[in-house]
Amino acid sequence: MPEPNLPLEQEESLTRQLENYQRSLRLIQERMSEYALKTDIPIHLVQQERECEANIQRITAALTSQPQHPAPIRSPVSAPAELPEPAGNPFTPGRVVEPARFVGRKREINNILYRLENMLSVSLVGEARIGKSSLLCYLEAKLPMLSATDKRYVPVYISMNTMRTRADFCRTVLGALLRQIPPGVAAEQTLRLLEQKTTPSMADIQTALGWAATGGLRVVLLLDEFKDMLQHGNEFDDAFLGTMRSFATDPALPLALVVATRQKLTEIEGLQAYTLNNVDTQTLDLLHPDDARELLQLPSDHPFSAAEVRVGLDAGRNHPLCGRVACSINRSAVRPGYCIKQMVHCMSMPSAP
C-alpha cells in the first residue's frame, strides 16, 4: 500500500536519516571487510548491517512513493525528474555539500580549529539551510588534515535526529572510535567484547575515551540537529546531558563537541542546563561575497560565463542555498517557464538575519 503523503518536514527528516544509514552501512561493511573469513565476522556487525539495509529499504520505499513537490528548492528528494543531478554538477540545492566542493567559511573553520587545538567545545548556530550540516561533514572529512597539531583527530559525525535511544548513540560513537584505537593500547579480547555489546553505555564510551587518551587520539563529536534529541527525552535526559558535559570538561578525556542548532543553546528549552561555561558560539550567516563568487565558479560540466555569474550573485544574495538554486536554474535554461518561476521563488526567500 502506498505511503500517505508526508509533510515536507517529515520527508526532509527521512532523507537525512537515509543518508546517515547509508553512511553507517559503509562503515560497517568496511569493518567487515577486515576479516579474512566470513565466519570470523562478529555477529553484532552482521546484525547492524541487516538493520541498516532494512532501514534503507524502508525509508527509500517511503520516499519514492511520495509525489514530487512543485518547489524543489525546499528538499533534495523533491527535485523534479527533469532536473537530475548530472555528473559534474556541484549545484544541487538542499543536499549536504561534498567536502571536495565545500567553499567559504574560512573564518568559522579557523575559529573552530583554534578551539579544538585546546579541546574546547563549540556551539554552531545558524538558520535552516545555511550550511551547518555541510560544515560538519567537511570537518569530518578534513579535520585530521586541517589541524596544525601532531595529534591524531578522530572526528565522528552524528545526526541526532537519527538517534532514538542512548544505546544507539553509544553504539554509533563506539563503532567509529574503537576501530581507531592503536594496537596494543587495549587487549584485543577486551576491544572485541566491547564491540559486541548490544546495549553499550556511556560508561563504555568513557572506557574507549581512556584508550584514546593513551593512544594519543583526540575525539571530536560533530553532533548535527542537536535539538532533535529532545524528542526522545526519556533517553536523552538530564543524566545523559550531564554525562556528556562531564566528559567534555574532563581534562583526562580527549573529547570536544561541535553541536549544531538553529538557536543558541541558552534559548532552547531543555538544553539551557547543558551550556558549558567555556563553550564558544560560532554563528553561520551569509557567505562572504568572495566565497559566493567562488561557489558560482566551482568546476563543473557547465562553466558559467561572467554574465551568468553576475546573475547568480544577484539572485543568490550570498546565501549558500539561494546561490545553488540560482546555479541549478541557470543549468536548466532550456525550460524558461520553470526557470522564471523558480527564480522568483529564490528571490523571495528571506535573507539570514
Please state which of the four CATH numbers 3.40.50.300, 1.20.1440.230, 3.40.190.10, 3.30.460.10 is assigned to the domain occupying 105-283. Answer: 3.40.50.300
Residues paired with 224 in a beta bridge: 159
Look up residue 21 and give its DSSP letter.
H
pLDDT tens-digit series, residues 143-171: 988 766 667 899 999 999 999 999 999 99
Q: From CA 223, how far away is CA 245, in angstroms rounded?
A: 14
Q: Which pLDDT value is given to residue 18?
A: 78
Q: What is the mean pLDDT of residues 196-205?
A: 94
Q: Does 109 have pLDDT greater than 80? A: yes
Q: From CA 176, how far away is CA 281, in angstroms rounded?
A: 26
Longest dimension (CA), the chain: 65
Q: From CA 113, how far away is CA 309, in angstroms rounded?
A: 32
Least confident of 68-72, 97-101, 194-198: 68-72
Q: Which pLDDT value is given to residue 335?
A: 44
Closest C-alpha among 129, 164, 147, 90 to residue 352? 129
Q: From CA 109, how far away is CA 116, in angstroms rounded?
A: 10
Q: Which pLDDT value is given to residue 99?
A: 84
Q: What is the mean pLDDT of residues 91-118?
A: 84
pLDDT tens-digit series, residues 237-288: 999 999 999 999 999 999 999 999 999 988 998 887 666 667 889 999 998 9
Crossing angle, helix 320-331 and helix 336-348, to 10 degrees? 170
Cell output for 150: 601532531
pLDDT tens-digit series, residues 322-331: 777 777 776 6
Residue 64 CB neighbour total at 10 angstroms: 10
Confidence of residue 132 (pLDDT cuts 50, 70, 90): very high
Burial class (CB in 10 A: 0-12, 13-18, 19+), 151: middle
Q: Does 74 have pLDDT greater than 90? A: no
Confidence of residue 94 (pLDDT cuts 50, 70, 90): low
Q: Which pLDDT value is given to residue 351?
A: 44
Residues recorded for the chain:
353
- Name the residue ranges covered by the structural domains of the chain: 8-67, 82-96+287-348, 105-283
Q: From CA 104, how far away is CA 113, in angstroms rounded?
A: 15
How many angstroms separate the first and last alpha carbons of the chain?
Answer: 44
Q: Do 252 and 258 meet the contact criterion of CB atoms below 8 Å apart?
A: no
> E strands, 24-139, where?
122-125
Determine the number of helices (DSSP H) and then strands (DSSP E) in the chain: 12, 5
